[in-house]
């Protein structure tokens, strides 16, 4: 089910993160008549706080809220969790 609704939620989620200021979309150029944008950190610190909570959940086995566990599971299932390893 998530695979079917995932792409539409992805766009809505990114739009919301940009509206909140957690991410920004500076123009990167054009490809024909299509304007290209790049997603960059908005400087709010939200990404670092979220990844810190996920790290505590997975590495330190901290007792964390269900929402953080769900984020960790989603990042892991999507295959992007390893890209955040430092």
The DSSP output letter for 79 is T
For residue 25, the Cα-to-chain-centroid distance in whole angstroms is: 14
Work out the percent of the chain whose per-residue pLDDT is above 90: 2
Judged against a pLDDT cut of 50, whether residue 1 lies above it is answered with no
Encode pLDDT of 12-48 as tens digits.
878 888 898 988 888 888 888 888 888 888 899 988 8
Please tell me the predicted confidence (pLDDT) of residue 3: 57
The residue with greater pLDDT, 86 or 58, is 58
Instruction: Give the whole-angstrom CA distance, residue 56 versus residue 61.
Output: 6
The DSSP bridge pattern shows strands 40-41 and 34-37 to be: unpaired
pTM for this one? 0.60
Angstrom CA distances, 78 to 2, 46, 72, stand at: 11, 20, 10
- The 3-state DSSP class for residue 14 equals helix
């Amino acid at each position: 089910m998530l695979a079917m609704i995932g792409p539409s939620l992805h766009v809505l989620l990114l739009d919301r993160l940009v509206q909140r200021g957690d991410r920004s979309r500076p123009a990167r150029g054009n490809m024909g008549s299509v304007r290209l944008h790049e997603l960059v950190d908005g400087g709010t610190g939200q990404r670092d706080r979220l990844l810190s909570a996920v790290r505590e959940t997975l590495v330190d086995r901290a007792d964390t809220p269900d929402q953080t566990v769900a984020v960790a599971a989603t990042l892991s299932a999507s295959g992007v969790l390893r890209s955040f390893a430092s």
